[in-house]
């Protein structure tokens, strides 16, 4: 049996319901296996715990070395008009005309 929310098979069985050990989703035992719960809005938070949204401006909280390059993005660099995406790096943006992907844990809301 797989979790209807995250589709992983790490499911705990209780007397009256099932619980996903990975995402914490709970559903009743009598629910059909293919019934998926309503879409859960994804919440992305910055390093300070503030909720980020598309179009926000953020500031880097530490120097970030660019992979495959000797360049460094300096702490305090302001990034405007971010776009939230799914995946390992939650933020897509442009810095000095170059497309970048950032993790939310390295930025704070400006």
Tell me the pLDDT tens digit for each residue of 46-66. 999 999 999 999 999 999 999
> Minimal CA–CA distance to 62: which of 41, 42, 47?
47
- Confidence (pTM): 0.62
4 with 28, same domain? Answer: yes
Report the SS3 class of residue 106.
Answer: helix
34 with 70, same domain? Answer: no
Model pLDDT for residues 51-106, shown as the tens digit of each residue: 999 999 999 999 999 988 899 999 999 999 999 998 889 999 999 899 999 999 99
Domain range for 103 is 44-109
**Structural domains counted in the chain:** 2
Contact 6, 22 (CB under 8 A): yes
62 with 104, same domain? Answer: yes
Model pLDDT for residues 15-29, shown as the tens digit of each residue: 888 998 888 888 888
67 with 14, same domain? Answer: no
60 with 104, same domain? Answer: yes
72 with 102, same domain? Answer: yes
């Amino acid at each position: 049996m797989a979790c209807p929310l995250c589709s992983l098979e790490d499911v705990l069985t209780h007397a009256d319901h099932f619980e996903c050990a990975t995402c914490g989703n709970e559903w009743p035992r009598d629910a059909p296996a293919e019934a998926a719960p309503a879409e859960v809005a994804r919440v992305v938070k910055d390093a300070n715990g503030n909720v980020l949204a598309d179009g926000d401006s953020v500031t880097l909280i530490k120097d970030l070395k660019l992979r495959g390059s000797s360049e460094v993005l300096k702490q305090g660099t302001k990034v405007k008009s971010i776009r939230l995406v799914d995946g390992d790096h939650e933020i897509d943006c442009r810095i000095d005309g170059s497309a970048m992907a950032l993790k939310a844990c390295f930025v704070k809301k400006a």
